[in-house]
Structure 1
């Protein structure tokens, strides 16, 4: 289900959003936020947080930086060479991390 939703988001980014003037008030954009949430959370939580974000993306809210925050358990870390897709930055809340996409990642 996540792949279908990501497909529609990518379709929107490539074919529909070119007719608008890029008015997202947040960084990362709402579509990038949605893809990051879908990759790091379960589908229903990601959809809820994405819809909440889209509802706040208007002139009544300030906007600014709003990175996705996820809950992770890193107690079973395995060592070896890995492909880094996201950086997880610890927040003050236990087991919650801010997601930042790797700059070298091909998905944009």
Structure 2
């Protein structure tokens, strides 16, 4: 329930307030999209921490660039996978996974 509240607040920010600053983020994905991915796939404390650190790095003192979210483990069941249901790709690192968006996802609202 709390997760849905934060996702709704992010949606509100992305569709109203971020119109003024469109394209101002130094990273890809943008900070709001990064937060959205974090809250969709991580626990709330970890999502808050990662989002806070990302927003702190989004200024001229740090280099921008590609900064994909890192998650603990994928939560998709193999029976739910098909070419039309893949929304994110999980790229393994030593202990975690990078989360990369699939741009050809047919259920996407982008």
- Between the aligned partners of 1:86 and 1:26, the Cα distance in structure 2 is 18
User: In the alignment, is residue 3 of structure 1 matched against residue 11 of structure 2?
Assistant: no
User: Shift of the alpha carbon at 1:20?
Assistant: 2.2
Is 1:99 the counterpart of 2:99 in the alignment? yes
Query: Over aligned residue pairs, what C-alpha RMSD do you find?
Result: 2.0
Distance 1:60 1:80, change over 3 A: closer
Counterpart in 2 of 1:89? Answer: 91
Q: Which residue of 2 aligns with 1:71?
A: 72
Scaled by the length of structure 1, the TM-score of the pair is: 0.85
Structure 1: segments with no counterpart, 5+ residues: none
Against the structure 1 CA distance between its residues 63 and 9, is the aligned structure 2 distance closer, same or farther, given a 3 Å change threshold? same
Query: Cα offset for 1:40?
Result: 0.9
Question: What does 1:7-22 correspond to in 2, within 5 Å?
Answer: 7-22=8-23
Whole-angstrom CA distance in 2 between matches of 1:66 and 1:97: 13
- Is there any run of 5+ residues in structure 2 with no aligned partner, and where? none
Q: Which residue of 2 aligns with 1:58?
A: 59
Give CA deviations for 1:17-63 in whole Å, capped at 9, x if unaligned: 11224210000000110011111100111011001100110001001
Aligned residue pair count = 104
TM-score normalised according to structure 2 size: 0.83
